[in-house]
Amino acid sequence: MKIKLILISIFLIIYSLFFFINTSTANERINLELNKQIKDLKIHYALTKDYFLTDAKSIRDNLQSNQKIIDIFVKAQNANEKERKVLRQELYELLLPMYKRIQTRGILQFQFVFTNNISFLRMHKPSKYGDDLSDVRYSFKHTNLTLDNTEGFEQGRTTHGFRYVFPFFDKDGKHIGAVDIALSSYAIQEKLLNINKIYSHFLVKKDVFNVKEWDIDKLSKQYLPSIEHADYLFSTTIKLKKEKLQEIKKYVIKPLRHEIDSLISKDKPFALYTPFRDTIKVMTCLPVKNIKDKKTVAYIVSYTDNNHIYHTLKNLNISNIIVFIGLIILFYFFYKNLNHEKELKNKNTEMSSLLASYDKNVMYSSTDLEGYITDVSDAFCKVSGYTRKELIGENHNIVRHPDTPSSTFENLWELLPTQVSFESEVKNLKKDGGFYWVKSFFAPEYDKYGKHIGYTAVRDNITDRKEVEALQSEIEETQKEIIFKMGSIAESRSRETGLHVRRVAEYSRLFALKYGLPKEEVELLKRASPMHDIGKVAIADDILNKPAKLTDEEMITMKTHSKLGFNMLHGSKRPLLNTAAIVAYQHHEKWDGSGYPQGLTALEIHVYGRITAIADVFDALGSSRVYKEAWDDERIFEFFKKEKGKHFEPKLVDIFFDNLDEFLAIRNKLSDV
């Protein structure tokens, strides 16, 4: 129970850490994308204003260079009302062709005022004139006072928009008034849509309308209560669809209401997102400040679909699920192998104890030049079971185990005279018929005169280590079996027999061998190929075992098993798991590029994927499934010939037919029946 609690704790820590890092990374990507949305809207809004300013300055230069326009306006300065009426009509008719042209470019208002801010001519409303705009239009008052150009967002009597107001001079440079050229917010929206492909609308603060000059009837026609915030009104356009607004209000604004209320009062640009149908809807808000005191009086708002954020969130959820499932599987098999690990740990502990007492347990012997024993240690006797008396005078072959060829010792005695020292691992025979392993270190022995008189050997008893190695080999075999079992789990969920993965493994081995792959890779592919459908553990049973043709949506889900399997397996330092990851990812790719998930073609597909693909299809076609009956051989052979160079690599199809008997022998040997 204690071990279980420790494993569960480790699992929770690892998964929580992964979840935190994965989620943080995804949020960073999303924030970058939201900042990009704000930046894009700023740039396009600035480009739209520059587009208008270029037109406005061109109009200004045109007016300032037209002496006839200047003369009419100069005469109007001191004319009586009757004379002004005639001059006004004359100026209107003179400017009408120009006004019609600039209307097509989105310019709505075109107005002349005197130096005292009294309106002389509104081209957009010629019947209205003579009113004092000093308290209504700050831009006129500022321009006539400072003789500077004034540009920016400003509300008027009945509308708002982006304005460019410039001082007007006569031919002698005398200031005679100001001219207003205004681009409505609707025109800005149109330009953003037509030029920059951004759908947007304006929100205007209700405070802007709290002046007596506003016509309430017109206000109700031009503005609606904003769906985004109660303090703002929505500027209507001819393209407004109220049904669309209600849909956005319900599915976009409602989930974001708290964040919008918090951010819109800060008068800074912001972007928010929320799921909407099969994508992500991003709401971007850019504050618009007025000319007079640079306060935020409006927002330009855009709604865009963002597939990048959608896929970021989708990948986040998928990766979290895959890692969760993968960790569960990993910890399950780790727990199942704990008994082996305990035994290995116990053996290591024993070895540590032996090493700690090495000085007191040295196995020592000496021989003459002919190999006859002249001396042995108590440790040697204790291990071998012989007494000193029984060993001294005997040839060293007395402890040779039958498993050790006599040629081994013959070679040893041939090498000893030619080397300063020599070491070897040998399996020896005990007196009672048992055995022990030693690692022997041989060295020549000399008398006090330097004469070579024999050999000494110091031995480490490595019997325990050999047993550990055998146990380690058993664990490695168990790991191989786990890989196979994981493949069988995926197949069993889809109601396929375990023999399917065995046959695919054997077919893959035969293909790889005939293809000319190195023996190491042949064996690696054989052991990895059972994992080709491991991703199916994440596919729902109602899709996996559906006894009928899958729908398009179900097929899309089913196809994700390749990517899911790859994500479970890749990134390991183990060649076996990396090979299995390639097989899982690419065994549904096709030679002509019509496969999935990557649509790879020809040699872009790893040879492991190409081999497993044809092995898997051969076995699947000849086997019964919940959704089909098994094909007969002739039908399978005809299919392979047809798909040569399409589904399968031509060379592999040739290998199949050239070695058909061997493939059929494997199938017969591992038949389901």
pLDDT per position as a tens digit, 204-229: 887 766 554 444 455 455 677 788 88
Give the chain's radius of gyration (CA, Å): 44
Mean pLDDT of the chain: 83
- Largest interatomic CA distance in the chain: 149
The answer to whether the 357-461 and 469-669 domains have the same CATH topology is no
Determine what percent of the chain is predicted with pLDDT higher than 70.
84
Q: What is the mean pLDDT of residues 629-637?
A: 92
Counting residues of the chain whose pLDDT is more than 90, the rounded percentage is 41
Architecture of the domain made up of 357-461: 2-Layer Sandwich (3.30)
Under the phi-then-psi rule, with left for phi > 0, alpha for psi from -120 to 50, and beta for the rest, what region is 645?
Answer: left
Determine the Cα–Cα distance for residues 256 and 491; give it in Å rounded to an integer: 44
> For residue 476, is pLDDT > 60?
no
Alpha-helical runs (H) found in 337-462: 338-356, 378-384, 388-391, 406-415
* Model pLDDT, residue 454: 79
The pLDDT-based confidence of 550 (bands split at 50, 70, 90) is confident
Express each pLDDT in 339-354 by its tens digit: 666 776 776 666 566 4
pLDDT, greater one: 234 or 359? 234
- Overall average pLDDT of the 298-324 stretch: 91
pLDDT digits (tens, 9 = 90+) for 279-297: 999 999 999 988 888 888 8
| Highest mean predicted confidence (pLDDT) among 118-122, 156-160, 212-216, 577-581 | 118-122
Compute the average pLDDT of residues 12-36: 93
Window from 49-58, 111-120, 603-612 with minimum mean pLDDT: 49-58
Provide the CATH number for the domain formed by 469-669 in this structure: 1.10.3210.10
Q: Please, which pLDDT band fits residue 239 given cuts at 50, 70 and 90?
A: low
What is the rounded CA–CA span in Å between residue 199 and residue 209? 25
- How far is the C-alpha of 144 from the C-alpha of 176, rounded, in Å? 9
Separation CA 523–CA 517 (nearest Å): 10
Quote the tokens at residue 294: 């640079």
Distance in angstroms (rounded) separating the CA atoms of residues 363 and 384: 10
Lowest mean pLDDT among 125-129, 167-171, 343-347, 456-460: 343-347
- Residue 372: burial class (beta carbons within 10 Å; 0-12, 13-18, 19+): middle
Section 48-54 average pLDDT: 86
For residue 22, pLDDT over 70 is answered with yes
Beta bridge partners of 287: 299
pLDDT at 90 over 50: yes
How far is 182 from 125, CA to CA, in rounded Å? 13
pLDDT band at 563 (very low <50, low <70, confident <90, very high): very high
Query: What's the whole-number mean pLDDT along residues 166-195?
Result: 85
- Of 213-227, 411-425, 607-621, give the lowest mean pLDDT range: 213-227
Least Cα distance to 670 among 515, 499, 453 occurs for 499
| Residue 154: pLDDT band with limits 50, 70, 90 | confident
Domain boundaries, the chain: 33-308, 357-461, 469-669
Average pLDDT over residues 323-341: 83
Count of residues making up the chain: 673
CATH 3.40.50.720 for the 33-308 domain, yes or no: no
The answer to whether 53 and 151 have CB atoms below 8 angstroms apart is yes
Yes or no: say if 228 and 202 are a contact pair by the CB < 8 Å rule: no
**What integer pLDDT is reported at residue 99 of this predicted model?**
93
- Residue 515: its pLDDT value, please? 96
Strand order in the sheet with 232-235: 223-225, 232-235, 200-205, 296-305, 279-289, 270-276
Per-residue pLDDT at 485: 55
